[in-house]
């Protein structure tokens, strides 16, 4: 669904993303991994139409992003930035309702279909218990579930998530990633997610792309990426990969 064709990105003469060739399919969770400043968020912003490529192109549905109108594109692709905008004085349900803007604009009244999509999103994310509370009063995990519900209400086929686990404790990290994976499997969504924790990425993603200094260093199935030498090249520190005590997957530790 997404194709990156030699795309680059530069700011003030500094190249943040080197010529990149990638494909991301619907129905899979794709994880972007790498150290800080490796180009993960830069790549995600290109995919989300938040910034244009300096050279090369990004295509969605075999069509260059430059050919998509903003609202038309938002009906297909939903983006959650790393730094979330303020939701002050909004209830969860009100925030989720903003996900319907691509269908009628921010000032349009909600139709019956809009209300059905909002309630569907609330049900899918199990946010019924706190949907009518102010977002600012919710825990980190609850807040992220409300934001995910807003993306689902948008009715898009692809979700682009930039570090949605930031500032969450381990329990809420697992909760959010398990929900993302479940939604991908049940609804056939495509998901591209920026993650810092390689073990979380390997556990919940179907495909990993590792970036280093703005270049794609490696990509593939998590089982192919979870190797000592590969992870050391990605993160620049000695890593050791071993079988999880549960025996169903592999984990990496710093040596």
Domain 24-53+70-229 has CATH 3.40.50.300: yes
The encoded tokens of residue 138 equal: 């919710």
Per-residue model confidence as pLDDT tens digits over 108-139: 678 889 999 999 999 999 999 999 999 999 98
Average pLDDT over residues 41-57: 96
Flag whether pLDDT at 247 surpasses 80. Answer: no
Domain ranges of the chain: 24-53+70-229
Cα(249)–Cα(55) distance, rounded to whole angstroms? 39
pLDDT of residue 106: 61
pLDDT of residue 107: 65
pLDDT tier at 1, thresholds 50, 70, 90: confident
What is the average pLDDT score of the chain? 92
Provide the 10 A C-beta neighbour count for residue 55. Answer: 12
pLDDT of residue 108: 66
Flag whether pLDDT at 105 surpasses 80. Answer: no
- DSSP letter (8 states) at residue 246: T
């Amino acid at each position: 669904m997404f194709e990156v064709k030699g795309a680059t990105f530069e700011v003030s003469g500094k190249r943040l993303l080197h010529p990149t060739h990638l494909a991301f399919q619907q129905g899979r969770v794709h994880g972007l991994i790498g150290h800080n400043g490796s180009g993960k968020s830069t790549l995600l912003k290109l995919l989300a139409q938040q910034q244009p490529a300096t050279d090369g192109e990004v295509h969605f549905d075999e069509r260059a992003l430059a050919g998509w109108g903003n609202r038309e594109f938002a009906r297909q692709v939903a983006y959650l930035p790393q730094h979330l905008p303020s939701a002050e004085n909004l209830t969860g349900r009100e925030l989720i309702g903003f996900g319907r803007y691509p269908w009628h604009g921010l000032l349009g009244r909600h139709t019956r279909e809009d209300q059905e999509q909002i309630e569907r999103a609330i049900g899918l994310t199990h946010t019924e218990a706190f949907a009518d509370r102010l977002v600012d009063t919710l825990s980190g995990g609850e807040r992220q579930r409300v934001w995910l519900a807003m993306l689902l209400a948008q009715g898009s086929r692809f979700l682009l998530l930039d570090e949605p686990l930031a500032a969450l404790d381990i329990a809420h990290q697992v909760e959010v990633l398990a929900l993302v994976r479940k939604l991908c499997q049940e609804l056939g969504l495509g998901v591209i997610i920026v993650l810092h924790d390689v073990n979380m990425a390997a556990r919940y993603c179907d495909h990993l792309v590792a970036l280093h200094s703005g270049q794609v260093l490696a990509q593939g199935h998590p089982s192919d990426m979870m190797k000592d030498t590969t992870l050391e090249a990605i993160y620049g520190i000695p890593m050791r990969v071993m079988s999880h005590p549960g025996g169903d997957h592999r984990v990496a530790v710093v040596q």
